[in-house]
Amino acid sequence: MNADPPIPTTSSQPERQAGIAVLPFVNMSSDAENEYFSDGITEEIINALTKIKGLKVISRTSSFAFKNHNIDIRKIGGQLGVATILEGSIRKARNKVRITAQLINTGDGSHLWSRNFDRQLEDIFELQDEISLLIADQIRENFGHFELQDHLIAPPTHNIEAYNLYLKGRYHYLKWSAEGMIKAVEYYRQSIKLDPSFALPYFGAGLACGVNAAWRFIPHDEGIQQAEAFLKQGLKINDKDYIGIFAQAIVSFWGKWDFKEGYRFFAKSLQLNPAFTDAEEGLAEIYTAIGDFDKALEHTRNILRLNPLSPNHYYTKANIYYLTKDYAKAIDIMRGALKIDPGFSLAIEMIAACYILLKDYQKLDQLLTNYPQAQRPNECRALFQLMYPGEEVPVDLTNIRTKVRTKSDSSLIAWHLYLQVYLGHHDIALDILEEGVKCYTGQLINFRNDPFLTPLYQMERFQALVRSVFHPSQLPSDESDKLIAPDEKEPGQAPMNDREIQASLSVINNLLEKEAIYLDPNLSLKLLAEKVGIHPNKLSWLLNNHIGKNFNEHINSYRLEAFKQKALDPDHQHLTLLGLAYESGFNSKTVFNSFFKKTEGLTPRKWLNAAKNQ
């Protein structure tokens, strides 16, 4: 059994909302390499559920934090603040696929729904759609009203092998390494070759090239050109896909430091999928770079609500406090990221930077000792000594002076630039900074408020760079916020008029009170809607807004009364309490016991004893 994942703890758990986390489906195939397929299908179901307005869906990163960990579902639900968890397994063999899935109530651990699916691989998109709709139905029946579309997934390609190669590319892209992204592009190219009309691999390749170019893992200009070529082709096929538009934002913002275009594309991507936290993180990063820290923090609060276990989101939030010189707060947030991913380099480097700025060598030295994977430990110690000459630090400054670099390398923080600043080589430092800005080096995008560059702030060359990069004409305007502002339209008309409401309520009462259809343990919202003669969306709205209960609360209240009558009837004394519950329409021991105790405040046995003694 695996140990629990390193998850940050808080003094108060988030409230469990009518939401869902989809845990990574377990790969049950004989070939371990099919892991990419089970991961890909999991992500597709997550993406489908995010299309339902009003349903909280935990993002992929946070759901996948529990991969390969055997943890009580109730604990996961409390950590993520959702009322339901979907878990399951996938077995893929040749052209067949079997998916087993179960939806679990995180409050009491009861199973709300479970199903096995055996299909041909060519039916995978219909299967994803079917599973997503069934899950959403169950959440709505148990936790409240939201509108549900007839379909959540449309086939993006009719070539299953092209789709298979796309999933392989996505799997390697999400390793977040230069090598993984290069390998991803190879698979995306193969997918495109099999189906040139399939848009997603173009977007995937554009993203991979853009990210690698922005962080100098490949030559910048070459990578950006490749990214733009892929995206141009993909957007000709589908110009309304949020992933494609997000890729445009990445290339515009990180590849070219184009704040206006980056903002426009991030906002458009977020409009198309409000649950896509990567796009909202992009907005936070833009606001951080231009120095609008209040707006940046607003966005980080929301992305951590939907994706509370993303180390990158923690970094984005911590970076705001770092740039506003609240180093203690930044360290605290980054330690949360390290609890999720103990090897998260960005967190280690930021904490090191904070300890230097706090003039705390003891903690800096301890950090560098505890994390041997920290980049440039000698440079960190040397920078501390240069900034605080009166402190005794075991470092050879002579060696640093002769070997300090004038160009960036793979380090995530610009230590080479900072060393030049505190060696007193201000002209060299400004040369490095100007070259980095010219080449859109990702490490330097926050240079305007970088605390290590304070000695350069008043120099004309530094100010000239600030004016050229952050001129008001190049920044998003206040009007830009309207792109992502909540819909402020007047509430639409109710889905039913008074006459329809009264007629439907009359039919529902007749079906429940006279025909006792609640005794059918398979009764569902859809089946009841069919009998009433209205759309399930209307029935869900009617129950929640006019009766004040969700579907299961309403139906189970009738079942509960039926149980109580049977339990007190001497003719039923030969049956167990659980048997009586099943005869009353309940189909789960846990659901029955939980609902009874919630409603009556007693267990069924204690209630029965009290009732008999009255």
Tokens 């080449």 label which residue?
439
Tokens 């231009």 label which residue?
290
Check: CB of residue 97 under 8 Å from CB of residue 33: no
Query: Could you tell me the two tokens for 149?
Result: 């579309």
CATH number at residue 537: 1.10.10.60
Phi-psi region of 29 (alpha: psi -120 to 50; beta: other; left: phi over 0): beta
Domain finish residue from 82, 112, 143: 143
Burial (Cβ within 10 Å: 0-12, 13-18, ≥19) of residue 506: exposed
Q: How many residues can be counted in the chain? A: 614
Q: What is the mean pLDDT of the chain?
A: 91
Does 527 fall in a domain? yes
pLDDT of residue 559: 97
pLDDT of residue 7: 55
Residue 176: CB atoms within 10 Å: 11
Does 159 fall in a domain? no
pTM above 0.85, yes or no: yes
Does 224 fall in a domain? no
Burial (Cβ within 10 Å: 0-12, 13-18, ≥19) of residue 321: buried
Nearest CA to 56 out of 37, 77, 30, 73 is that of 77
DSSP 412: S
Distance CA 160, CA 29 (A): 18
pLDDT of residue 401: 77
Nearest CA to 389 out of 429, 417, 357, 422 is that of 422
CATH number at residue 36: 3.40.50.10610
Domain finish residue from 82, 116, 143: 143
Distance CA 260, CA 471 (A): 11
Q: What is the dihedral of CA 581, 586, 592, 596, to 10 degrees?
A: -80
pLDDT of residue 404: 75
Does 555 fall in a domain? yes
Domain finish residue from 87, 108, 143: 143
In sequence order, what are the residues at sequence separation of 6 or more whose Cβ sits closer than 8 angstroms to the Cβ of residue 272? 240, 241, 242, 245
Question: Which mean pLDDT values do the consecutive 10-residue runs of the chain (614 residues) have?
Answer: 50 64 93 89 95 92 92 92 95 92 91 92 94 94 92 94 96 89 96 97 95 83 94 96 95 94 96 94 97 96 93 96 98 95 92 97 95 85 94 83 68 88 95 92 92 97 97 82 52 82 96 96 96 96 94 96 94 91 92 92 93 81
CA 527 to chain CA centroid, nearest Å: 33
Distance CA 273, CA 240 (A): 11
Q: How many domains does the chain have?
A: 2
Beta bridge partners of 96: 93, 120
Check: CB of residue 470 under 8 Å from CB of residue 290: yes
Distance CA 298, CA 308 (A): 15
For 466-509, the DSSP string reads HHHHS-GGGS--GGGGGGTSPP-PPP---SS-HHHHHHHHHHHH
For 185-245, the DSSP string reads HHHHHHHHHH-TT-HHHHHHHHHHHHHHHHTTSS-HHHHHHHHHHHHHHHHHH-TT-HHHH
Does 99 fall in a domain? yes
Domain that holds residue 524: 502-612
Beta bridge partners of 84: 20, 105
Query: Could you tell me the two tokens for 163?
Result: 């789709």
pLDDT of residue 443: 85
Burial (Cβ within 10 Å: 0-12, 13-18, ≥19) of residue 386: buried
Does 2 fall in a domain? no
Distance CA 234, CA 400 (A): 48
